[in-house]
């Protein structure tokens, strides 16, 4: 009986611990950014199948190398399934909204901050909003 209780306690602590770590990573990436923050931006890039740490790397890379192309960058980590329509942007206008997979994102020349695709893949979407 004591073993079962200990196992239950350890399992609960591990689950809560992982959740807290995920929340800390989300806070570091998204901060106070919400879906409404992204909706207010002039353009949106949605990168699917990303894990949280990879989204943090993408955010840092964008801030460092393409500030001329992306102004007032805001990044949001969210669940898969978001689309341009989620953020009230037309999906048929690539200057306003782009939806792409991590694989396609990494194939672009300026996006070489992630070198190991397998370790960057995940079950999140990294949503980047910016102004012109």
- 121 Cβ neighbours under 8 A, 6+ residues apart: 49, 50, 51, 54, 102
Q: How far is CA 55 from CA 93, 99, 124, in A?
A: 23, 15, 9
Query: What pLDDT was estimated at residue 16?
Result: 43
Q: Which domain holds residue 123?
A: 2-131
Q: How far apart are CA 129 and CA 132, in angstroms?
A: 10
Q: Which pair of structure tokens corresponds to residue 33? A: 């950014």
User: In this predicted model, what pLDDT tens digit does every residue of 18-42 receive, in sequence order?
Assistant: 555 555 555 555 678 899 999 999 9
Number of domains in the chain: 1
Averaged pLDDT of the chain: 76
């Amino acid at each position: 009986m004591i073993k079962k209780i200990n196992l239950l306690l350890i399992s609960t602590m591990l689950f809560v611990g992982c959740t807290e770590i995920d929340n800390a990573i989300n806070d570091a990436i998204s901060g106070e950014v919400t879906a409404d923050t992204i909706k207010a931006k002039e353009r949106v890039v949605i990168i699917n199948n990303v894990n949280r740490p990879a989204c943090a790397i993408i955010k840092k890379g964008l801030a460092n190398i393409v500030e001329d192309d992306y102004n007032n960058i805001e990044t949001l980590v969210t669940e898969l399934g978001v689309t341009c329509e989620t953020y009230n942007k037309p999906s048929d206008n690539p200057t306003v909204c782009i939806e792409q997979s991590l694989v396609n994102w990494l194939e672009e020349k300026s996006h070489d901050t992630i070198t190991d695709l397998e370790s960057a893949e995940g079950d999140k979407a990294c949503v980047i909003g910016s102004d012109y």
